[in-house]
Structure 1
Amino acid sequence: MSAAAIDAPELAHDHGPVSPGEIAIGVIIGRTSEFFDFFVYAIASVLVFPGFFFPFVDPLTGTLWSFAIFALAFIARPVGSILFMAIDRAYGRGFKLTAALFLLGGSTAAIAFLPGYETLGMGAIWLLALFRMGQGVALGGTWDGLASLLALNAPPEKRGWYAMIPQLGAPLGLIVASLLFAYFTAILPGADFLEWGWRFPFFVAFAINVVALFARLRIVVTPEFQHLFETRDLQPERALVTLSTEWRTIVIGAFAPLASFALFHMVTVFPLSWVFLFTTEAPTTFLLIEAAAAALGVIAIVVSGKLADRIGRRRLLGYTAAAIAAFSGFAPQLLDLGEGGEIAFMGLGFILLGLAFGQSSGAVSANFATRHRYTGSALTSDLAWLFGAGFAPLVALWLSAHYGLLASGAYLLSGAVATLVALWLNSELGKAR
């Protein structure tokens, strides 16, 4: 067992019982570190990887190949969840979390050392794919149950408020990643950035993972967490057992947040690729627009907590899915209207994303039997990201390049429809029970 995992119980003992506020901070730090890793890779997959790893094809094709490798992490993530839950049962949550975060940080840092195609040929591409899958497996292992712990301790009248807290990590991670890349693209000549400047954000990601590790270990070894673990509220049940008994809830839960998950990449990764490939705008400018829009997303996520407690989480998810469907019919074309159109698209998109994404986590988790809640929630999240977000940049860019920006809205519309159908099915399932 690592020194970090061994020292964590002593750390928890020295600081006494953990308050709900500390749990919330641990959740936000953990999710921010994960999403920072995610967005560092996503931004590099647009600005760097097409030319660095795929110089033998045109920029559009290179970006499509880059997005194909981007999707590998989402395919590998469920495998990581199953693997690390076995480690959890055998060695404990502290060891599992330490191993997963070091795998995540190690895979991310390894990408920073990769040579390009001109040096290593196809070997460079295979190594990029390998480390990307390593990130995905690790992300499956970073499921720590802290969001569930937070929800289980939430007063009934504040469940929406507590549900939005883990979701803050996404826009916060994007803000930090966007500003970091904006800084390096602004101060470095293009050749220097493409040769070595892009590597620094990957090193920063490793350092942030180390900080996040201790913040999360501080909580997962506390008596309160261990009690919930021992009473099976946070017990990692075997995946096959959970799937065999809870498959309906897992499927519905995976499709319920598809509107927000599809929108997630439509306002983060995809627009950067479109602007970079099909306009003359400097990437620094759009990265700053993206960071500002993500700040609106933070505010919208907080507002979603208040709204959900007032009108209900499922109703809010339904309303936002309908709004996202409407957004899909006109908003993508804004990206062709210059900087003003980009600001409008990103601002409106992030407000909708915040309202929907703020309540998308665990929308049907209450339907799980207690013993299956931990594993069921993890698998549901993995599948939702895979179906809703994993291939979104690839599909949206391909559709837009071949059929126009309006076509990319079709992918977003399909996610909104899936959410509305899943919410209806979940309501019917609840009545049946």
Structure 2
Amino acid sequence: MLTKETFNHALRNLLQNPESSNFLLAVSGGADSMVLLQLFNSSRLKFQVAHVNYHLRGEDSNADQDLVRNFCSENNIPFHLYEVSDKDQKPENSIQNWARNLRYDFFRKIQKDENLEYLVTAHHLNDQLETFLINLSKASGIKGLSGIPANENQILRPLLNFTKDAIYAFAKENQLEFREDLSNKKNNYLRNFIRNEIAPKLFETNENFLQNFAKSLNFLDQTKQFVEEKIQEIEKELISEKDHIFYINKAKFSEQNSLTKFEILRKFGFHDEIEIGKIFNAEKGKTFHSGEFQLMIDRENFVLMKTSSNENVLLENREEIIIAESLSSIKNHEISLSKYISAEQQMQWLFDEEKLTFPLKIRKKKSGDLIFPIGMIGKKTVAKFFKDEKIPILAQQKIWLLCNGNDEILGIIPLRQDRRFSADQNAQSKIKIKF
């Protein structure tokens, strides 16, 4: 049963002292959000209201806006409105995702401008069931099946344990005006189909179906927390990080069960079970991409690197960059490569000007590249140098070679300079290259 008292109890389970916080309520004008608005108002909490008019339902959309605005005006509640216009570029498909992103951007902006700690939404137990069934159909793992979180990322959902019927009963008892979105009656979206066709059939199987479902969700959430703790323990054994690159021990990781593999790789953006299976069967050198990370199969590790910004991607994808067309283009006998290369500490190499041929350039490794490393006898292929230095394959792709006009290696940046072109004490004129 939803009452002011049961609501305040639910809110205090999420937040110890709600009286000391400032809230932003997302209010559409439907029964759920209008009941939430009334409960916050009668509880005398400090809050403001945000409403988005998408103008998707003509005068009905305007009537929703008027209802929320009038309630706020009558009760001296700060009201924020966003009216969608042509500049928002509504897509032909994926309208639900577009609308969600638009309103949450709007909400976050208000929170920042008004210094409101928490966003509050009116999701309820029926929403939980719909989300559970959607996630069940997507094989989303235990995280998806444990439901919508009641308190996550400064978003509170204090009505999550109350049914839609309880919300309607509260609205009726308090003679609360609200508006129904008739578009929810159409089965053109999966959520609507589940709400209108699937959920009613489930309710017929057991009069306490939703209450039992809530208990099951609680068990699932506890199971999720237990699993997450165990996964974290396993991650500490499997994963190491250096210079923002993650290394997962391939042999030990392959011994883990499917759930552990899925949950760990999910954190790097890999969600597809078939794709994950391919990762464990792939040969050395194979690369996989999620939206967030690039994963490469190395000899002993799965090597993961966060996807670079667009600017860095453009730079990394270039095979060759001229850094000095001629000797006259070098000012004060010094070249800085900081625009292209970042090193943990500032370094510099000195070259004998008479030994250099132009143009000077940096490029990525080619087959057969040779280097005569300073401090070593003889020569090596660059590939053999990388192997001896235990440079992971993914890291090798990011390393630049400094070369002369004859395409000979002047150095592997920042690892080793080539001794053939370095400046010794007899050099008449020296060129300094810094990075």
Please tell me the TM-score bracket, short chain as reference. Answer: under 0.3
Structure with the higher helix share, 1 or 2: 1
Larger radius of gyration: 2
Q: TM-score, normalised by structure 1?
A: 0.23
Higher strand share: 2
TM-score (norm 2): 0.23
